[in-house]
Amino acid sequence: MTLDGVGVADDVWWKSAVVYQIYPRSFADSDGDGIGDLAGITARLDYLADLGVDVLWLSPVYPSPQDDNGYDISDYRDIEPMFGTLADFDRLLAAVHERGMRLVMDLVVNHTSDEHPWFRESREGPNSAKRDWYWWRRARKDGAMAGDRAGEGSPGAGSPGAAPNNWGSFFSGSAWQHDAASDEYYLHLFSPKQPDLNWENPEVRQAVYALMRWWLDRGVDGFRMDVINLISKHPDLPDGPLHGDGLYGDGSPYYICGPRVHEYLREMHREVFAGRPERLLTVGEMPGVTLEQARLFTDPARGEVDMVFQFEHVGLDFGRSKFDVRPLRLTDLKTSLGRWQTGLAEVGWNSLYWNNHDQPRIVSRFGDDGPEHRVRSATMLATVLHLHRGTPYVYQGEELGMTNAPFATFEDVHDIEALGHYAQAVRAGEDPDRVLDGLRARGRDNARTPMQWDASEHAGFTTGTPWLPVNPNHTTINAAAAVADPDSVYHHYRRLIALRHTEPAVVHGDFTMLLADDERLYAFTRSHRDTTLLVLANFTGEAVAAPADLAAEWARAPLVLGNAGPIDEMVLRPWEVRVHRHV
């Protein structure tokens, strides 16, 4: 069965692939300016090929003022000079393809930079031909009320009047910025320098599709689409329920998976992807997406996207907010991941990830990053993730077991989200030390410290001064040491990736959760034809005895992969994982 050129075959290449995310400014610096670049990535491709990954996903490399580290784009058809040139990009793309890998670009089209020519023209006034390319509104008529502090906590604060609605920004403060020249406000769900595009306007959509075709014609192999489920807003922009602080409203019911989002994505597929002979990869990052919505988005017959990034499992340790840390309950994790495995078993496909540029390091979050247990907990987490049904994503340094960074003071924090949260929380009377503790645990800077290549002064990342300090533990946690050690996290990732490439049960097998109520052991099977794999993992720092019936059933099944040496049939050591095969 096909629809709009989309096949529903079970053998599409990306189901057996592993994707590796590169955050370019932190991966490898070739010219000593302290910022990673395209030439640096090209020079490290053999490392990635040896790891065995199939796809490279680049976080944005387009021209940008870098207010949000490149997710504020000022030109969609060029390369940011700090990263290189289009010629450098073409060389990188050719070198990726020569090694049998593919390259996926980050597509950021919910918003642009306020320095993009589209917005500059839109900002010229209400009569501008591009005024309706963005969400412009006049002040609300009912006067000042909760949520009217447009721009508070953000650059350009102190605007007069009442914002058009009470929505808060993801980066703290109001989602509206006052423009003095026209006495109107524009919508920005993120930074004031990231105005939201108005996808209701068909000219906007056609401009986006044209730039996507431009990159595909250049040879890229698909797109990871940033917050793509936010592109459709309720046209009336209603107020949302107030947050606990009483300042701003939650507008998400009116823009998360909004009224026309499926229509837009189907149109995108018809305009951009349908009819192309190659099978391209489309991944939609979708905060707040439900399982039921994801089934629609990823149903191949509908022609929308191949898979989505959902955030349910990485929100399980949140309290009142992501920076209010609470311990993870393993049963919550099983319930969440198990629901998605079951829910997309017949229709759609899962993306599997622990880390990315927006998440803290998983070994510091759900594992144990101390010297005694770091390697074993990192390899256990990797095994559990990669052997679920779906396409795994590896974030740079994850394959080394890189950890969160030791941010000593607030001055060590760089990320715009963290800065906005700190300012708003302290202004609301929260204890600054407690706020900083939350930033240490959950701040996005943890993922953005430079890649640790070796034990030299700046970890082999740069010969200059790195834009963000290198984690001091790079002297022991680095690629050179990991490649040389057959028992390292790196080599465990190589074995995991090779298993996906050679064992059909990993890609195509049914998923069955075991021990659903156990707070210490995570266990499941993957079954395909005559082969069943058992994954059994200890999520604690204590030895845990496996249930006797499970141990007896699998005692004679060969061990395919493990991280603790010779096994004890009944007892799993701290953070141990085993994969058995029964034929």
Question: What DSSP designation does 473 have?
Answer: G
Contact assessment for residue 5 and residue 303, using Cβ atoms and an 8 Å cutoff: yes
Distance (Å, whole) CA 347 – CA 391: 15
Residue 567 class from Cβ within 10 Å (0-12 exposed, 13-18 middle, 19+ buried)? middle
List Cα–Cα distances, 345 to 309, 348, 522, in angstroms: 16, 7, 20
Is residue 415 part of the annotated active site? The answer reads no
End-to-end CA distance of the chain: 32
Neighbouring residues of 499: CB distance < 8 A, sequence distance ≥ 6: 386, 506, 560, 561, 579
What is the phi/psi pair of residue 564, to 5°?
A: -135, 20
Residue type, 255: Y
Residue type, 193: K
Neighbouring residues of 486: CB distance < 8 A, sequence distance ≥ 6: none
In the structure encoding, which two tokens stand for residue 302, read together? 């509908």
Nearest Cα neighbor of 445 from 422, 478, 426 is 422
Per the residue annotation, which of 68, 152, 267, 285 is the catalytic one?
285
Secondary structure of 383-397 in HEC code, one letter for each residue: HHHHCCCCEEEEECC
How many CB atoms are closer than 10 A to CB 532?
Answer: 19
Nearest Cα neighbor of 454 from 469, 435, 473 is 473
Is residue 285 part of the annotated active site? The answer reads yes
What is the phi/psi pair of residue 395, to 5°?
A: -95, 140
Per the residue annotation, which of 37, 184, 226, 306 is the catalytic one?
226
* Virtual torsion, Cα 562, 565, 567, 572, nearest 10 deg: -70
Residue 43 class from Cβ within 10 Å (0-12 exposed, 13-18 middle, 19+ buried)? middle
Catalytic site positions: 226, 285
